[in-house]
Amino acid sequence: MLLHVEQMKSFYRGLASGELFPRWEEDTNRGFGAPTTSYYPPGVYYLTSALYALSGDWMIAVLASYFLMMAASSAAIYIFARRFLSRVAAAAAMVCYIFLPYHLLDQYQRGALAECLAFVFMPLMLLFAERLLAERGEMTADETSLSAFDGEPLVLSSGKPMRYRTLFDIALLSVATGAFIWSHPPTAYQFLLAFVLFTVIAAVMRRNWKGFLAVSIATILGLALSAAYLYPAFIEQELIRHEFVTDNWPYYSSYMFTHNAVYNLNAFAWVFNAAAIAIGGATLLVFERRVIKQSIGLQRRIWLWVIIGFYASFMMTPASSFVSRLIPRIEIGVFAWRMLGITTLAAAVIAGACVQAAVNARRRQQQSRGNSLASLAAVTIVGGAIFGAVRIVGGFYGHPSFFFADEHCNPAMMPKAGPVEPLELPRVERAELANEQGVVEVADWRPQHRRLNVNLSAPDTLLIRTFNFPGWRATVDGQPVAIQSGEALRVDLDRPDQALIRAATFRGGTPIVDGTPGKLIGTEPLGDIEIPLSPGAHFVTLDYVLTPPRFVGVLLSSSAFVLVLGLLLPSLIMRLLRARRDIR
């Protein structure tokens, strides 16, 4: 981020002063504003908005968001790795996770704020799943082994896992899963596929089907936590032109090493991660089995990471198409190369395992083996960091950080009740009268509430520049009224293009658009709101309320939230009581 601070400062100063977007509100979607409920995941908006509320500066909010996400992903991978690695080895995995190419690509090239959050939740989900799948004796053995490595006093205990700890881990896994979906559903969907594979294999290895059941319950509860976003997005997707993404960027054209692959840097990240997983995994599992067996449970975990890493690498190639077509709604995860986040995680923990094996070898006076293993880990960590710094971060130094279009439209979010080509939307006032039989005053204009004062000398139709998307409720003088959708007339101009005009304001004759005469060639939905009014003074409001699917989603999330609290609070109380007993 340091390379781009000055460029970002100039951008946000311009944004704040209005120099970059002097007509932002009027020009967004040709003045219609945000056309629909945005089905983009809201997690990153909550984060940046909270930071803006604290700082009052969008530049600080965005920079702080990136910093916090990097710091949180560092902490998450470190805490996860400390279950089976020493401090040094866990720190090595952390550095690798942060600096491997794809993580830096998300931050510096793609500016993928929401996807950067995914790097926080992947290790956390694995952490809580492992705790649910592990027997108490196994967990204690790992912790004892780690204590020996770190020179700490050994603490022995035994017995089955305590129920309050199980409830605690179920609650935290559900929170991590729900937050992941709130943050970035495409990556969450792809990771859930790998997570199911991870959980099944781990349960088979440990013969722990109760743990598998606990993980399944937590995952379902996490889906319920995200239902306020996920359920209406699924049920109401046909209200928007969601097919724009799949039509223009089909999932099966986003495989690595195809002529439609998006970024060459992604191809390098794929090769780098796959090589790190293959070479590191083979070295540890084939040539250094005795060394890694000194860390209890490490060999089994390396097998898991190698399998998950190879699975994700395979699923990003055209060879996986016969498997992908069997997976329901695989296109949710567009693009296929987003699975590079999963291989980044696998490569990082395998690099950490190499460092752990090097520590083990040196403790047994095997200096040469320790040096070789440390060198292997260093190649992964330092090589990835150098490439990321030079090719990814340094490659963009001196280039503009942002490029601007004259106006912003997201065709995938446009309602199907509106025109096919959003950039052809007519430029109109926020509210006007079709026949100009009076005056309109906009008293309040907020995203979910509009209030207008209308005074008419004759019957007329109020035209409101708001897409007639399900959820809008209109009242006239306090009484609910029906909303009508406006129609557009398509005009073929003398110059080689076309435009749309409001049908309600066309009085016949030759249509003229921006001073250019044209010819009417058809009609199509415009999607704005029309309200017929009688003569006199009227008080008109528009409010955006919950539709039945959105209400069900909120109800599911609220219920799941209460249930999670019901799992967490007793667990915390039991922990406190146990801690007090131990002190006595």
pLDDT at residue 8 is higher than 70: no
Mean pLDDT, rounded, for 196-211: 93
Lookup: tokens for 189: 């969907």
Lookup: tokens for 40: 């983009």
Mean pLDDT of the chain: 82
Within 8 A by CB and 6+ apart from 42, the residues are: 182, 229
Q: Residue 25: its pLDDT value, please? A: 43
pLDDT at residue 26 is higher than 80: no
Cα gap 538→531, rounded to integer Å = 12
Ramachandran area for residue 428 (φ above 0: left; ψ -120 to 50: alpha; else beta): beta
Q: Residue 368: its pLDDT value, please? A: 64
What are 183-202's pLDDT values in tens digits?
Answer: 999 999 999 999 999 999 99
What are 346-360's pLDDT values in tens digits?
Answer: 999 999 998 898 888
Within 8 A by CB and 6+ apart from 27, the residues are: 21, 406, 407, 408
Question: CA dihedral in degrees (527, 532, 538, 543; nearest 10)?
Answer: -30
Is residue 8 within 8 A of residue 59, CB to CB? The reply is yes
Cα gap 381→379, rounded to integer Å = 6
What are 405-463's pLDDT values in tens digits?
Answer: 565 667 777 788 777 777 777 878 889 999 999 999 999 988 889 999 999 999 999 99
Mean pLDDT, rounded, for 368-377: 69
pLDDT tier at 550, thresholds 50, 70, 90: very high
pLDDT at residue 275 is higher than 70: yes
Of 37-41, 55-59, 333-337, 344-348, which one has max mean pLDDT? 344-348
3-state secondary structure of 469: coil
List own/partner pairs for 242-251 with CB under 8 A and 24 or more apart: 242/39, 242/412, 244/411, 244/412, 244/414, 245/334, 245/412, 246/331, 246/334, 249/334, 249/335, 250/331, 250/334, 251/324, 251/330, 251/331, 251/333, 251/334, 251/335, 251/336
Q: In angstroms, how far is the first alpha carbon of the chain from the final one? A: 50
State the pTM of this model: 0.84
pLDDT at residue 281 is higher than 80: yes
Continuous segment of H or E residues that includes residue 3: none
Cα gap 257→297, rounded to integer Å = 36
Q: What angle do CA 498, 500, 502 make, to 5 degrees?
A: 160
Closest CA to 316 of 254, 259, 238: 254
Q: Residue 32: its pLDDT value, please? A: 59
